[in-house]
Copies of this chain bind each other. A is one copy, B any other.
Amino acid sequence: MTDEDTTPADLSINQKTLNNSSLPEVVDECVAAGVPAVGLWRESIHEIGVGEASRLVKSAGLRVSSLCRGGFFTADSPERRRESLSENRRALEEAAELEAPCLVLVVGGLPPGSKDLAAARRGVAEVLAELAPLAERHGVRLALEPLHPMYCADRAVLSTLDQALELAEPFPVEQVGVVVDTFHVWWDPRLFEQIERAGSRIASFQVCDWLTPLPADVLLGRGMMGDGHIDFAPIDTAVRQTGYSGDVEVEIFNEEVWSRPPREVVETTVDRYRRLVRPR
């Protein structure tokens, strides 16, 4: 095997990238391609049980780069807030059992019927304050994910890296970090200064491309690197310059990618990572 054939040592495939494959199949594909890490989703873990998922991944020699996802903090009643907290507690326990370094948080959109964005954002800070000490006890870092502003109303009132850092900075760095996901932040005129500011707060680095036109379901616009408009290498360089030594997780939601054989998707991922994310 030549040096060029070596799969990057910090590449992770998020299981959503192979959405039509079971977790055992995802693990097999990663092992076959020499990909050392996987990003997991709670829904799929629940299907086979957390213990079984953990054994499966570890016995294959893989590590878990992140667990998706906790969050949905923007509750509009004390009851819903309690439910959200207990759901996030369970997610932290699962992340700990999977030895995932971080639990990715999608904080939630506006509560139904509400237009009070400022209040929803304050609510996120309040729930975070309750959850952060718990996270440390579990040895799992909360990773606040700013989502693209087009998801502000219905999915995440956390819209920029700047805003995520303001939320994270009151907490110890080992309790609360941030996610840098190229799809969500590539457009940000302050991206590079905010990555530098983030420093050791970067808990997860996720990559995929921004496609045009956006598909009818904007949740499925996450494309394979190289198929869209994002220049990955400068973002990867900036993230590494902060000292980030975690995995680069490829998370693609895209019907066309999902329709292809998983082996081909993994091979393309490795190839695009080498040529576009971290070219030599």
Contact = CB atoms under 8 A, between A and B. Distances in A.
A150 interface: yes
A162 B189 CA distance: 9
Interface string A206-228: 00001011101110000000001
Nearest to A233: B115
Interface stretch (A32-40, A134-142, A151-159): A151-159
A69 interface: no
Looking at A159, A189, A210, A229, the one whose CB has the most chain B CB atoms below 10 A away is A189
B230 A159 contact: no
Interface of A: 110, 115-117, 121, 148-150, 152-154, 159-160, 162-163, 186-190, 210, 212-214, 216-218, 228-231
B189 A160 contact: yes
A150 B186 CA distance: 11
A217 B216 CA distance: 7
A153 B210 contact: yes
A213 to B, nearest CB: 8
A110 B154 CA distance: 28
Contacts of A117: 186-187, 231
Contacts of A187: 117, 149, 152-153, 159
Contacts of A163: 189
B115 A229 contact: yes
A149 B214 contact: no
A110 B186 CA distance: 13
B189 A153 contact: no
A22 B242 CA distance: 56
Contacts of A115: 229-231
A186 B152 CA distance: 9
A116 B231 contact: yes
A163 B152 CA distance: 20
A153 B186 CA distance: 10
Given A148-B150, A149-B150, A218 B229 contact: no
A254 to B, nearest CB: 16
A210 B152 CA distance: 10
B116 A153 contact: no
7 contacts: A115-B229, A117-B186, A152-B186, A152-B187, A153-B187, A153-B228, A154-B212
